[in-house]
């Protein structure tokens, strides 16, 4: 009985040490990633860029893009917004609102040319005025 208790005690100790090592490694990796992204502010911009990439990918599919809108036009608008986002010169609240409206309205339906033109204009309006290239 005493021998069994010693074996179990040693097993629990090894498992506890292993779990603490895994948690420590996870915290270190999480801290490095957190600093790499730029903290809470960088995380918001990173998520905005991910959402922007998803909407752009959805819009560039030939079945989702209307014939009156060229692929180059879509790429140019998204590139401008992406560049402004990288420089932290975009209104995140407005950007999320515009992207969410696109996703909710056109997730399953193909938008018309005027709808996409209005969307692209609204998307460019999310760039802060002092960030616009002259």
97/26 Cα distance (integer angstroms): 34
Quick: pLDDT tens for 76-88: 999 999 999 888 8
Same domain, yes or no: 91 and 109: yes
Q: Check whether residue 53 and residue 104 sit in a common domain.
A: yes
85 class by beta-carbon count within 10 Å (0-12 exposed, 13-18 middle, 19+ buried)? buried
The string of pLDDT tens digits covering residues 40-89 is 778 888 888 999 999 999 888 877 788 888 889 999 999 999 999 888 89
Number of structural domains in the chain: 2
- Same domain, yes or no: 54 and 85: yes
Q: 63 and 123 share a domain?
A: yes
User: How far is it between the farthest Cα atoms of the chain?
Assistant: 83
Statement to judge: residues 121 and 89 lie in one domain: yes
Residues 64 and 108 in one domain: yes
Under DSSP, the state recorded for 111 is P
- Among residues 103, 97, 60, which one has the least CA distance to residue 79? 60
Domain that includes residue 95, residue range: 39-131
CB 82 within 8 A of CB 49: yes
Domain co-membership, 9 together with 68: no
């Amino acid at each position: 009985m005493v021998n069994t208790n010693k074996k179990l005690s040693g097993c629990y100790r090894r498992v506890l040490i292993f779990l603490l090592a895994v948690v420590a490694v996870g915290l270190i990796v999480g801290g490095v990633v957190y600093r790499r992204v730029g903290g809470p502010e960088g995380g918001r911009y990173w998520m905005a860029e991910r959402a922007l990439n998803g909407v752009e990918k959805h819009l560039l599919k030939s079945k989702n893009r209307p014939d009156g809108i060229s692929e180059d036009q879509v790429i140019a608008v998204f590139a401008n917004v992406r560049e402004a986002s990288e420089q932290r010169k975009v209104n995140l609240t407005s950007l999320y609102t515009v992207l969410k409206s696109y996703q909710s309205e056109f997730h399953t339906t193909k938008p018309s040319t005027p709808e996409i033109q209005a969307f692209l204009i609204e998307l460019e309006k999310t760039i802060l005025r002092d960030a616009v290239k002259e």
